[in-house]
Structure 1
Amino acid sequence: MSTRMVTFTLDGHLYGVDVAAVQEVLRGQTRTRIPLSPVTLAGLINLRGQVLSAIDLRALLDLPDRADGTEPMLVVIRVAGEPVALMVDTIGSVVDVDADQFEPPPDTLAGVSRDLLLGAYKLEDQLLLALDVDRAVAA
């Protein structure tokens, strides 16, 4: 059985989410910071009159900060019917992956990164880390 994944990069690693969860992909949206909010909540975004939370996946996955001046891209996903924006470094493509390419999260991953991944797909030239969007948004 094949699954379609929307891919994106974070700190040089390839991640993916199920295409069924993705609403749209955006760039250059203004974010409004929320005082005293956790570092993982990058702010709020007004998307055509709808206010979305923007989650910084780098902060959530304990990755280093983005280089100064690098504008993140946003993957808008739907979790429990509500849209949420995930901040990523770059957007990749849509890839089809098969169940026989899937493996549990690698043992080299520890901590929160391991908890937020469904597992990994072995592609020809790299590993595609499958993000659990429900857990990522809940965190």
Structure 2
Amino acid sequence: MSKQSKKQIKKKQVLEAGVELIPDLYEEGGKPKKSKLQFISFVLGNEWYGVEISKIKDVSALSTITYLPCAPLHIAGIVNLRGNIVSVTDLRKLLGLSPVPTTKESHILVIQAGEFETTIVVDRTPKAMEIELSKIDPPLETLDPSRAEYIVGVCKLKNIFFAILNVEKILAFK
């Protein structure tokens, strides 16, 4: 079987199992509910990422992160966001990226799945975008396994590759 055929089969499997890619993407019987999805895109280091917009509760300028003793290593601390105390997940640690200092362009995104929520710090101002479902491919098989579980798909728009994050897995990290 050719490399292209394997990729097409894998993409079809991912799209048919849309519940794994993005929950509630398909109706019963396999028909897509939507042809396009909306995402918030952002940068960590030199890499672009996206989160489905329905998983974003809030976007805010970066505020002071307070250290939280005895927290797991992937928890950078907590922030007070409009009177709510929310944990800050260090996405760089989860994805194996090098730490960098925050800048005035850094923002926090409050992500949620079900009753769970956390914030993630991003390097540049997040932007909304719309992606055709057909442009989303499965994650690369060569992706480091420690990162792969947090990425549900990839796409290319205007010569930029985006990794689409699995919010449920980020929130379930132990």
TM > 0.5 between the two? Answer: yes
Partner of 1:134: 168
Percent of pairs identical after alignment? Answer: 28
Hey, what's the Cα distance between the residues in 1 that align with 2:142 and 2:157?
18
Partner of 2:29: none
Structure 1 residues 97-135: Cα deviation after superposition (integer angstroms, max 9, x where no partner)? 011111111123112211100110121211111000010
- Relative contact order higher in (CA < 8 Å, ≥ 6 apart): 1
Which structure is larger by alpha-carbon Rg, 1 or 2?
A: 2
Greater fraction helix: 2
Greater fraction strand: 1
Which consecutive segments of 4 or more residues in structure 1 shift more than 4 A? none
Q: What letter is aligned with 2:87? A: S
Say yes or no: does 1:28 pair with 2:62. yes
Hey, what's the Cα distance between the residues in 2 that align with 1:42 and 1:69?
13
**Root mean square deviation of aligned Cα:** 1.5
1:49-64 to structure 2, matched below 5 A, reads 49-64=83-98
Number of residue-to-residue matches in the alignment: 138
Hey, what's the Cα distance between the residues in 2 that align with 1:93 and 1:56?
20
Say yes or no: does 1:70 pair with 2:103. yes
Hey, what's the Cα distance between the residues in 2 that align with 1:26 and 1:8?
13
Q: What stretches of structure 2 of length at least 5 have no aligned partner? A: 1-34
Hey, what's the Cα distance between the residues in 2 that align with 1:28 and 1:121?
27
Q: Give the conservation status (yes or no) of the 8 Å contact 1:56–1:88.
A: no
Hey, what's the Cα distance between the residues in 2 that align with 1:79 and 1:115?
16
TM-score after normalising by structure 2: 0.73
Q: What letter is aligned with 1:97? A: I
Hey, what's the Cα distance between the residues in 2 that align with 1:10 and 1:69?
11
- Secondary structure of 2:168's counterpart equals helix
- Secondary structure of 1:86's counterpart equals strand
Which of 48, 52, 55 does residue 14 from structure 1 map onto? Answer: 48
